[in-house]
Amino acid sequence: MDTLLTKLGEAVEAGKVDKNSPYPPQMKGQDGADELAGQVLANGVAPTALLTEALVPAMDRVGQKFSENKIFVPQMLMSAKAMGAAMQHLKPFFQSGDVKTKGTFIIGTVKGDLHDIGKNLVAMMVEGGGWTIIDLGVDVNEDTFSQAVSENPGAVVGLSALLTTTMANMEAIVKKIKETHPDTTILVGGAPLTDDFRSKIGADFYSPDPRGAVEYLKELAA
Ligand code: B1M
């Protein structure tokens, strides 16, 4: 089983989406992230193990190689695509929560930022925790967030950012939401954030991972 998890991590790292994918040429005809994720789960591995032992470490290696100029944006995109193919297999597990009655969770990656893998994972897991999800996508500005809250009174909002430059944009979004809808609870997350930063921008809760967001929302709904 470790071999399959290793192979899955390698496929994501190399950007091998599925068997038919021509990229990378040296892996032509081999199973990709899509097939391997299916095989791992069919062998009874827990979905969270697939995530924490194969997919997330693979993306970390991708980030490391990018920092060292060993790969560039197109390769990083192929890895993201491969990760997305594997994540499709996780969806049914993370979404099979209770009936969706706990409330509405509006989520988006903040303006200037196109990273959506972490945001999608948070959305999947919160949905599995029994919340209705409104996913605003990536590069979302303060007006769009505020509008979504107007359309969904009482909704909780989640902001994601992966860049040190774009996390700064969270402040204006929090400000606008709190001005227009003062009672809105706002969660923030993403690799460069800290709880100090959360406190500085006036958001209500910071979680480094989807699990923390789910737990916080559970308490909020209790
Ligand atoms: Co970009 N990128 N990227 N990238 N990218 C990073 C983030 C980087 C760390 C890579 C590096 O240099 N080592 C670096 C940021 C440096 C910094 O600012 N600190 C970087 C850079 C520089 C860039 C560009 C500027 C590169 C360029 O063009 N020169 C560019 C920016 C584009 C833009 O957004 N405007 C860029 C582009 C891209 C791609 C488009 C090619 C692609 C994204 C594709 C996509 O998302 N669809 C990409 C990728 C794939 C990465 C890395 C390799 C992987 C990100 C990822 O998906 N991780 C990343 C390096 C890395 O993270 N190791 C990197 C896996 C994911 C599960 O983790 O997203 O952290 P993460 O989410 C976690 C937690 O953060 C948390 O839960 C998730 C699950 O555990 N979380 C929340 C996230 N949101 C949350 C919200 C919550 C709670 C928890 O509550 C609401």
Residue-level pLDDT at 91: 86
Q: How many domains does the chain have?
A: 2
In tens digits, the chain (222 residues) has pLDDT values of 679 999 999 999 999 999 999 999 999 999 999 999 999 999 999 998 998 899 989 998 998 999 999 999 999 999 989 999 999 999 888 877 655 668 999 999 999 999 999 999 999 889 888 899 999 999 999 999 999 999 999 999 999 999 999 999 999 999 999 999 999 999 999 999 999 999 999 999 999 999 899 999 999 988
Please, what's the b/e burial string for 2-31 (b: 16 or more CB within 10 A of its CB; e: otherwise)? eebbebbbbbbbbbbbbeebebeeebeebb
Which of 96, 130, 162 is the last residue before a domain boundary? 96
Residue-level pLDDT at 9: 96
- Secondary structure (H, E, C), 84-142: HHHHHHHHHHHHCCCCCCCCEEEEEEECCCCCCHHHHHHHHHHHHCCCEEEECCCCECH
Question: How far from 34 is each of 11, 20, 44, 214, CA to CA, in Å?
Answer: 9, 10, 16, 26
Same domain, yes or no: 89 and 126: no
Predicted structure pTM score? 0.92
- Residue 87 sits in a domain whose CATH number is 1.10.1240.10
Same domain, yes or no: 24 and 88: yes
Nearest Cα to 58, choosing from 44, 40, 42?
40
Report which ligand 1 atom has the smallest distance to the Cα of 165.
Answer: 18
CA 168 from centre of chain: 19
Same domain, yes or no: 168 and 134: yes
Which of 47, 76, 96 is the last residue before a domain boundary? 96
- Residue 133 sits in a domain whose CATH number is 3.40.50.280
Separation of CA 35 and ligand 1 centre (Å) = 24
Pocket test for ligand 1, best of 64, 79, 87, 115 (most atoms within 8 A of CB): 115
Residue-level pLDDT at 153: 96
Range of the structural domain that residue 146 is part of: 101-222
Same domain, yes or no: 201 and 122: yes
Report which ligand 1 atom has the smallest distance to the Cα of 84.
Answer: 47
Nearest CA to ligand 1 atom 28: 73
Residue-level pLDDT at 129: 84
Which of 45, 80, 96 is the last residue before a domain boundary? 96
CA 143/CA 154 separation, integer angstroms: 17
Cβ–ligand 1 contact at 74 (below 6 Å): no
List the strands of the sheet with 205-206, edge to edge: 132-135, 104-109, 156-160, 186-189, 205-206
Same domain, yes or no: 85 and 128: no
Residue-level pLDDT at 101: 67
Same domain, yes or no: 158 and 217: yes
Cβ–ligand 1 contact at 62 (below 6 Å): yes
Pairing, β 104-109 against β 205-206: unpaired
Report which ligand 1 atom has the smallest distance to the Cα of 79.
Answer: 50
